[in-house]
């Protein structure tokens, strides 16, 4: 009995050491951010929601590529993120890219520039959005087209440049920050709602297309808040364009977690 105890002791110690190692590794992996080292691209990063996304991903150790139409706004966000970074955690200096999704002629080139920042994109957050309010018969076709460029053609053009990289790597996530008006008709929102219905349809179909490549497509359909707005003069619908910065309320990614 004594001999057996002596022989079993090393095995017992080895077993305990193994369990301790597994526990330590599990704890390390559990504490590690899910976005650590991931390349995350955020459009309209200088909006209210964009800034909050940037803060969370930066704190989580993501490699950020922040896109926006205003360079001063991007620099201000950059300064804020770097000044509040936790020195005890690994963070990466954000990269800044000027991007106006309503300027379709430049979107492809800018998207390629974004892709070249790190050679890949793990998470793309399509956050940019422009809205207009006014009676349908008062809004010109030129303004309708402008809204469609910013809210539909711009984001899908940008996504189409990034998508082949995700498919070839068989990994990636695309998030569309949309609006509840993609589901319901609201008076005086014809142009905006039409663009939101259109892009919802595109990304719903895309989700089914790329699932086999392990690329996840999620759509967020929130209500919206107004982070800033310049009230227009009467009948001046063009100047009523403002940014919509949504607060998420529903997320759709059928069949995927």
Burial of 202 (0-12, 13-18, 19+ CB in 10 A): middle
Judge whether 1 lies within some domain.
no
Judge whether 94 lies within some domain.
yes
Judge whether 21 lies within some domain.
no
Q: For helices 154-169 and 190-210, what crossing angle results, to 10°?
A: 10
What pLDDT shows up at residue 91? 86
CA 5 from centroid of its chain's CA atoms: 59
pLDDT in tens, 154-207: 999 999 999 999 999 999 999 999 887 877 778 888 888 888 889 999 999 999
Judge whether 257 lies within some domain.
no
| Cα distances (Å, whole numbers) of residue 160 to 40, 41, 156, 167 | 16, 14, 6, 11
For 231, the token pair is 């009230």
CATH number, domain containing residue 41: 3.40.50.720
**Size (the chain), residues:** 257
Judge whether 11 lies within some domain.
no
Total domains in the fold of the chain: 1
CA–CA separation, 132 vs 136, rounded Å?
A: 11
Judge whether 18 lies within some domain.
no
**Domain coverage including residue 68:** 37-252
Tell me if 171 sits within 8 A of 121, measured CB to CB: no
CA–CA separation, 62 vs 35, rounded Å?
A: 5
CA–CA separation, 214 vs 75, rounded Å?
A: 34
Judge whether 10 lies within some domain.
no
CA–CA separation, 115 vs 156, rounded Å?
A: 15
Judge whether 127 lies within some domain.
yes
Q: What is the pTM of this model?
A: 0.76
- Residues marked active site are found at 192
Q: What is the mean pLDDT of the chain?
A: 80
Closest to 90 measured CA to CA, from 122, 120, 63 = 63
Give the model's confidence band at 251: pLDDT under 50 very low, under 70 low, under 90 confident, else very high. very low
pLDDT top residue among 209 and 240: 209
Tell me if 190 sits within 8 A of 147, measured CB to CB: no
């Amino acid at each position: 009995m004594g001999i057996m105890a002596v022989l079993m002791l090393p095995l017992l110690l080895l077993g305990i050491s193994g369990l301790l190692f597994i526990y330590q590794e599990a704890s390390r992996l559990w504490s590690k951010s899910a976005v650590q080292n991931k390349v995350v691209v955020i459009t309209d990063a200088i909006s209210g929601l964009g800034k909050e996304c940037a803060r969370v991903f930066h704190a989580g150790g993501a490699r950020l590529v922040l896109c926006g139409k205003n360079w001063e706004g991007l620099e201000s966000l950059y300064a804020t993120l770097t000044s509040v970074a936790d020195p005890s955690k690994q963070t990466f200096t954000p990269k800044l890219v000027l991007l106006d999704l309503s300027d379709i002629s430049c979107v492809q080139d800018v998207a390629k520039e974004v892709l070249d920042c790190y050679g890949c994109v793990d998470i793309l957050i399509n956050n940019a959005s422009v809205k207009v309010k006014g009676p349908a018969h008062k809004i010109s076709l030129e303004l309708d087209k402008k809204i469609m460029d910013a809210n539909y053609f711009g984001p899908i053009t940008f996504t189409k440049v990034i998508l082949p990289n995700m498919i070839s790597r068989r990994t990636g996530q695309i998030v569309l920050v949309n609006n509840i008006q993609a589901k319901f008709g609201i008076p005086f929102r014809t142009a905006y709602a039409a663009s939101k219905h259109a892009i919802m349809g595109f990304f719903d179909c895309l989700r089914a297309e790329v699932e086999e490549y392990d690329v996840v497509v999620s759509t967020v359909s929130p209500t919206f808040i107004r982070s800033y707005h310049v009230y227009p003069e009467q009948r001046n619908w063009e100047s009523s364009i403002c940014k919509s910065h949504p607060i998420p309320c529903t997320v759709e990614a059928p069949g995927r977690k």
